[in-house]
Structure 1
Amino acid sequence: MRCKSKTFASSLMIACSCSFLFTAYAEDAIPPPQTELMMGTEDHDTPESIQLDAAKGDANTQLTLAKMYFSGNQVPKDVANAIKWYRKAAEQNNTEAMFCLSEIYRNGFDIEKDEKQGIMWLQKAANQGHVLAQCDLGIAYRDGSSALAKNEIKSFEWLEKAACGGSDLAKFALMVSVNAWQQLPINEKTVDPADFKTQYVLGKKYWKGAQCPVDKKKAILWYTKSAQQGCYQAMNELAWLYATSPEKEIRNGTKALEYARKAMKKGRMLPETIDTFAAAYAANGQFDEAITAENRAIALFNAQDRDGEAKAAERRLIIYQHKRPYLE
Structure 2
Amino acid sequence: MTKSKRGGGWSWLLVPAFLLATAPVFAKDPDVSPAAVDAAWKKFLAEADAEAVYDAYSEAFKAEDDDQKPSAQGCREHADALERAVATVPVGLSIHYLAYRCADLLGDESGAERHLAWFGALARHALASAPADWSSPPIRVVVGRDIYALLEASGLEFRYQSLETQPQERYLIIQVAAWDPEDKRERHLLFDFTDTYVQLSRDDANAVYPAFRKAYQDNVVRHFVDQKQIMGLDLDAARRASASEDPAEKVTLLRPIAEIGGVHAAHVWLLTCHREPFAGCGEGLVDALLPFVEKGHGTPTVLLSLAYAHGIGVDKDERASLALLDAADRAMGPGRASLDFARYQLGMKQPFSAALLERLDKAARRDLPAATVLLALAREDAKTSDWTDADREAVQVAARGGSVAATIALAQQLHDRADDAQALEWLVKAAHLGDPYSQDVYSTRLADGDGVKADPDAAAHWRRQAAAGGDVDAMTRLGWDAWAARKGPEAERWLISAVMYGSQQAMFELVELYSEGLEGMRFGAARAIEILKSLEDTENGAKARRYLADFHLRGVGVDKDPEKARTYYLKDAQDGDRESQTLLGLGMMRGDFGDPEPEAGEAWVQKAIDAGYVDAIDGLAFYYFYEVGENAGRARAVQMWRSALDAKDNALVLNNLAWVLCTTPHADVADREEGGRVARRLGEEDFLPSGQVDTLAACHAANGRFAEAVAKQEEAIADLVRFAPDDDSLEGMRARLALYRSGKPYVETGDP
Please classify the TM superposition score into its range, dividing by the shorter chain length: 0.5 to 0.7
**Deviations 1:96-125, CA, capped at 9 Å, x for gaps:** 4322899xxxxxxxxxxxxxxxxxx97xx9
Pick the aligned partner of 1:315 from 735, 740, 751: 735
Question: Does the Cα contact within 8 Å between 2:198 and 2:213 map onto a contact in 1?
Answer: no
**Deviations 1:243-285, CA, capped at 9 Å, x for gaps:** 1011234222222222223234458230111110110110111
Tell me: CA distance 1:235–1:69, structure 2 relative to 1, closer, same or farther (3 Å): same
Look up the equivalent residue of 1:309 and give its one-letter code: S
Look up the equivalent residue of 2:716 and give its one-letter code: A
Question: Does the Cα contact within 8 Å between 1:253 and 1:280 map onto a contact in 2?
Answer: yes
Per the TM alignment, residue 193 of structure 1 is displaced from its structure 2 partner at its CA by: 7.8
The separation in 1 between residues aligned to 2:581 and 2:684, in whole angstroms, is 24
Q: Does 1:92 align with 2:92?
A: no
Per the TM alignment, residue 238 of structure 1 is displaced from its structure 2 partner at its CA by: 0.5
The separation in 2 between residues aligned to 1:204 and 1:266, in whole angstroms, is 23
The separation in 2 between residues aligned to 1:180 and 1:213, in whole angstroms, is 26
Look up the equivalent residue of 2:439 and give its one-letter code: Q
Q: Does 1:327 align with 2:700?
A: no
Equivalent residue number for residue 678 of structure 2 = 259
SS of residue matched to 1:209: helix
Look up the equivalent residue of 2:635 and give its one-letter code: K
SS of residue matched to 1:194: coil
Per the TM alignment, residue 177 of structure 1 is displaced from its structure 2 partner at its CA by: 6.2
Equivalent residue number for residue 655 of structure 2 = 236
Equivalent residue number for residue 198 of structure 1 = 616
Equivalent residue number for residue 221 of structure 1 = 639
Taking structure 1 as the reference length, what is the TM-score of the superposition? Answer: 0.52
The separation in 2 between residues aligned to 1:308 and 1:189, in whole angstroms, is 32
Q: Does 1:46 align with 2:50?
A: yes
Per the TM alignment, residue 89 of structure 1 is displaced from its structure 2 partner at its CA by: 3.6
The separation in 2 between residues aligned to 1:236 and 1:266, in whole angstroms, is 12
Higher RCO (C-alpha 8 Å, min separation 6):
1
The separation in 1 between residues aligned to 2:585 and 2:663, in whole angstroms, is 26
Matches within 5 A, 1:5-84: 46=50, 51-52=195-196, 63=210, 66-72=213-219
Equivalent residue number for residue 287 of structure 1 = 706
Question: Does the Cα contact within 8 Å between 1:50 and 1:65 map onto a contact in 2?
Answer: no
Equivalent residue number for residue 276 of structure 1 = 695
The separation in 1 between residues aligned to 2:631 and 2:720, in whole angstroms, is 33
Question: Does the Cα contact within 8 Å between 2:658 and 2:679 map onto a contact in 1?
Answer: yes
Larger Rg, first or second structure (1 or 2): 2
Equivalent residue number for residue 181 of structure 1 = 585
Query: Once structures 1 and 2 are overlaid, which stretch shifts more, 261-270 or 45-54?
Result: 45-54
Equivalent residue number for residue 297 of structure 1 = 716
Per the TM alignment, residue 299 of structure 1 is displaced from its structure 2 partner at its CA by: 1.4
Q: Does 1:209 align with 2:582?
A: no
SS of residue matched to 1:228: coil
Per the TM alignment, residue 213 of structure 1 is displaced from its structure 2 partner at its CA by: 8.4
Per the TM alignment, residue 306 of structure 1 is displaced from its structure 2 partner at its CA by: 3.8
The separation in 2 between residues aligned to 1:295 and 1:227, in whole angstroms, is 27
Look up the equivalent residue of 1:46 and give its one-letter code: A
Look up the equivalent residue of 1:268 and give its one-letter code: F
The separation in 2 between residues aligned to 1:326 and 1:233, in whole angstroms, is 20
SS of residue matched to 1:326: coil
SS of residue matched to 1:285: coil
**Deviations 1:203-226, CA, capped at 9 Å, x for gaps:** 122112359986111101111223
Per the TM alignment, residue 71 of structure 1 is displaced from its structure 2 partner at its CA by: 3.9
The separation in 2 between residues aligned to 1:180 and 1:69, in whole angstroms, is 44
Q: Structure 2 stretches of 5 or more lacking a match?
A: 1-47, 52-141, 143-192, 200-206, 225-231, 240-433, 441-462, 476-501, 511-538, 548-555, 557-567, 570-577, 590-598
Tell me: CA distance 1:52–1:233, structure 2 relative to 1, closer, same or farther (3 Å): same
SS of residue matched to 2:471: helix
Tell me: CA distance 1:177–1:100, structure 2 relative to 1, closer, same or farther (3 Å): same
The separation in 2 between residues aligned to 1:189 and 1:63, in whole angstroms, is 45
Equivalent residue number for residue 247 of structure 1 = 666
Tell me: CA distance 1:76–1:302, structure 2 relative to 1, closer, same or farther (3 Å): farther
Query: Once structures 1 and 2 are overlaid, which stretch shifts more, 286-295 or 195-204?
Result: 195-204
- CA-based RMSD: 5.3
SS of residue matched to 2:704: coil
The separation in 2 between residues aligned to 1:270 and 1:206, in whole angstroms, is 24
Question: Does the Cα contact within 8 Å between 1:181 and 1:198 map onto a contact in 2?
Answer: no
Per the TM alignment, residue 202 of structure 1 is displaced from its structure 2 partner at its CA by: 2.2
The separation in 2 between residues aligned to 1:211 and 1:248, in whole angstroms, is 13
Question: Does the Cα contact within 8 Å between 1:205 and 1:212 map onto a contact in 2?
Answer: no
SS of residue matched to 1:227: coil
The separation in 1 between residues aligned to 2:630 and 2:49, in whole angstroms, is 63
The separation in 1 between residues aligned to 2:668 and 2:629, in whole angstroms, is 25
Q: Structure 1 stretches of 5 or more lacking a match?
A: 1-43, 103-120, 133-144, 146-154, 160-167
Question: Does the Cα contact within 8 Å between 1:239 and 1:256 map onto a contact in 2?
Answer: yes
Question: Does the Cα contact within 8 Å between 2:624 and 2:637 map onto a contact in 1?
Answer: yes
SS of residue matched to 2:737: helix
Question: Does the Cα contact within 8 Å between 1:232 and 1:262 map onto a contact in 2?
Answer: no
**Deviations 1:39-90, CA, capped at 9 Å, x for gaps:** xxxxx973959835989xxxx96947742444428x968797xx9xxx8544
Look up the equivalent residue of 2:732 and give its one-letter code: A
Per the TM alignment, residue 298 of structure 1 is displaced from its structure 2 partner at its CA by: 1.0
Question: Does the Cα contact within 8 Å between 1:181 and 1:201 map onto a contact in 2?
Answer: no
SS of residue matched to 1:324: coil
Look up the equivalent residue of 2:710 and give its one-letter code: I
**Deviations 1:172-199, CA, capped at 9 Å, x for gaps:** 9999665422125325988528342332
SS of residue matched to 1:219: helix
Per the TM alignment, residue 201 of structure 1 is displaced from its structure 2 partner at its CA by: 2.4
Question: Does the Cα contact within 8 Å between 1:203 and 1:222 map onto a contact in 2?
Answer: yes
**Deviations 1:3-32, CA, capped at 9 Å, x for gaps:** xxxxxxxxxxxxxxxxxxxxxxxxxxxxxx
Question: Does the Cα contact within 8 Å between 1:206 and 1:213 map onto a contact in 2?
Answer: no
The separation in 1 between residues aligned to 2:677 and 2:641, in whole angstroms, is 14
Tell me: CA distance 1:291–1:45, structure 2 relative to 1, closer, same or farther (3 Å): farther
Question: Does the Cα contact within 8 Å between 2:672 and 2:699 map onto a contact in 1?
Answer: yes
